[in-house]
Structure formats: structure tokens, C-alpha cells
Structure 1
Amino acid sequence: AMKNKKYIYSILAAGLMAFAMQSCYQDLGQTPGFDYPQQPPKAPIDETGQIFHASFNVGFKDTVSGVSPTVVGTPTLSTGIISKAYTGATGAYLTFKLSDLKATFGTDFTIGFWYKVNGTPDRAGIIVVGPPTSGAGADAQNNRTSGFRIFRENADGKQRIKANVGDGTGDTWLDGGSKGDVDPATAGWKYITLTMTTGTATFYIDGDVVATSSTFAKISWTGCDIMSIGSGAPRFTEWGHYSDLSRIDDIRIYSKALTAAQIKEIVNHESDN
């Protein structure tokens, strides 16, 4: 009987040992008993040369200069790609006085921002820095010889985003045709960028070239004193590019022309948040 008991105890002990080992390995597979090294945090976006940044996380102000814009109408803040975003309304837009900003706009220039299109109305101004049209009424402003205009128009149910830039005597179109088309129903957030330097102006969506001009002399800022966000008004109205009901987030302006790779870094960094 004693031998039988020892035999049974041996079987029980072996079974318990096997069960314990199995549980141990299962735990290792499911909830390891040690910490794997975590990925290091992403490096912050390079802000070298950044002269304007409207994050819209708290309000509408430029966090570089600390200046708040003039608010026309009743735009709001709603969910953005990063915290909050400017959200347009009929008749609404922001204007910043360029003289209030940290630095004067120069020949080398980049503006980039996140954009979630609302296709109604079917054309709108997005961001405009332009001179007044002397002698023309409020609904006929369209002097394109200096500054820039980023705007959208209907293209067979999609929205075609394009830009126009002035060199002091004439203007250059950055219209990539269907490359600039976004579908309001499915597009989600897109990163829009305009870069300019001596001899070149380039328009990007998500870091991909939509249109470029290698015959563009250089940007002129003659007569440009305000930047409007969320509408073509008050300086780009003749063709009906008024207030935009879309969302705009994290506008950055640099005193340099970012490369496609640098733009992609911003896209990848912020779209992962």
C-alpha cells in the first residue's frame, strides 16, 4: 500500500510540475514577466525658421508671436487631427495683420496646414495673403500680382485644391488638375503645403507634388498687409471664393522652402497622433 501511495504521489507531483511549467510558458506568451524596451518618443517637428504657428488647440492665436487675429463671423473650434481645429461657418474667417507677426514674409517661404474638406459651398477660399484691388468693390477683389491664394473649386463632385502666386507683375497658377482633387465623402485629413523660393513655387498634398512652376521668378508681397484664414475674403472674392466650412488645423509658416522630405516628416509625425 505504501508503494502504491508513493507511486500515486509521484504521478501527482509530475502532473503538478507539468501544469506549472505549462502555465509559466503560457504567461510568458501572453503577459511577459519582463518589460520589453519601448520605442523612443518621436522627435519633435523641426521648428527652425518657423515664424507662425496656429495650433487652434485653445483659441485662434499665433503661438509664435502671441498675437490673436480679428475674428469675422462665428467660426468655432472642433475636433482636429491634433486636439482642436478651426471650423468655418458661413461668413466667417480670421485675419492676421502681417505687421503683428514675428517676422516679415520673404522670398523663401512655406505654409503648411491640415485640412478636412467640407464640399459645401462648392468653392471657397482657404488661406489668402493678397493686396487690395484698387477701385473695385468688396465683391470684385482679385489682384493677383502679389501674395498667394490657396482655394478650392468643384471638379465633378470632388474638390480641386489649387494655389496662385504673384511675382510683382503677374501671377502663376499651381493647378495640378486631378492631382489636386479630394473627395469630401472619403478624403479625411489632408496636409496642404505651398513652398516658394527664387525660381520655383510648388504645391503639395500630403507631401506629394500636385503642381510646380520652375519659371516663377520670386514671390512679391507688395501691398499685402493681412492673411485671411477660412475665406478668400476680403482680398480674393471676385470669383466667389468666400467662406469655407471645412476644418483647418495646425498652420505653420516658415521663412524657408521646405523640401518634400521635410513635409513628409510633418505628415508622418502628426498623422500618427
Structure 2
Amino acid sequence: MTGAGESTPDPHADALLAARLCAIDPGLGGMVLRGGADLRDAVVAELRAGLPEDAPVRRVPSHIDDERLLGGIDLTATLARGVAVPRTGLLAEADGGVVVIPMAERLSDATAGRLAAVIDTGEVVIERDGVALRADARFATVALDDGVDPDERTPAALAERLAFWVDLSGVRRAASRPSFPREGGGPGVPSGALLGSGPPLRKGTGRVRRPAHRSASPRRGPGPSWGPSMATRGPSLPLPS
């Protein structure tokens, strides 16, 4: 029960606000969305609406190999030219856009560590098999966590670099919500979005935090710990009133 003057927590509204914040400042890293089924599509769409129209969106399957993730040798072009030709990986393709990771709880520690390294540096660097590749890779990450058991969670190496952890489990489809136009028209996020035009993060449901940019090497440890709506770790950043 909520006290007088307090609204009921709305995880979906929190997730939409988090999406708009990530569009404004990709340096927040992104978010982990647990549960929610098709509600998550609306959150990803909200994030996408705040980015330029041509911003790329890439999906990273949990079983992806290093060559597709980071880049490697373009075998067809190499055979045709007789010299090693590099091929851009998925993370570099997503530069300036969004990376969506379905079933993020199934990511291996090694893959999570490589993702974390790219998030930390904002670029992909490869030097192997006679190929040297350096490419920008700055993007917002949305990890879709479908874990059921407590130990089925997004790996900590990745989760600790994403500012928002939102639990949409058990949330029903919300009624249609107003769009948030860009300045000058069109869908997006207005310049006043942080000053009360969007749904606020409610007391007891979540805080904004800067992701911890630590060692990018994979580690074992607990992933997100879920509360009623949005969970975060570390010092909070105050939102403008």
C-alpha cells in the first residue's frame, strides 16, 4: 500500500523513462529488462525514437562467436583478392545506435567480458590472423533477461556497466501512452524531458546510477538483484525536480 500523496510504482513507465535517458546519454550504458515479454518492444522503440532516424539497431544472440561480434577476416573477399581483408563485427556496425541482447542470462562470461570491454572504451580493436582493425563502437545496450531462477541472471561483467535494471515481470500491457516529440517535430525526446515532462522515477522504485567502468575481464559473481520495479547499484545521481 502506498502512503498519502505517493503514486503506485509503474515499472513500465520507469523503463520508458530509462530508455529516454539512454537516448540522451548513451554513456549511461543501457539497461537490463527482466521479463515483460512484448512490453519490452515498446521500451526499445522508445529508445530508438530518441536517436537519429538512421541509427542502427543490432541484435546479439547469446551464442554469437567472437568473429561475428568483434570482426575478423572476410573469407570471400580474402580469397578473391589474395590478401587478408577485415570484416566489421556486429558491435562496430551498431555504432551510434542500439545493441539488443535477447536471453542475456545465457551469455557466457567470456562474451559478456568482451561486450563490457567495448562499452568501456567505445571502440573495437582487433589484431589477429594478420588483420588489424580499429572501429568506433558507441551504443546503448538493452539486455533482455528471461531468467526464472535466481541464479539465471545477466552476467555481472555486463550488468554492472548498464545504469538501469528494470523488472517488468507480472506487468500487464499498459494503455497507450503519449508520444514524446523531438524539438522541431517528429518522435523522440524533448529538451525538457528531464524536467518533469515524462513520468518520474518514483520513490522506492529506482535511481539513476553511472555504470561502474572497471576491469573488462570476465568475472563470476551475482548479477542484478531484483526489487519491486527498478533496481540499481552504486551512488545515485539526483534527477532534476
TM-score normalised per structure 1: 0.25
Instruction: Decide which structure has the larger Cα Rg and report it.
Output: 1
TM-score normalised per structure 2: 0.27
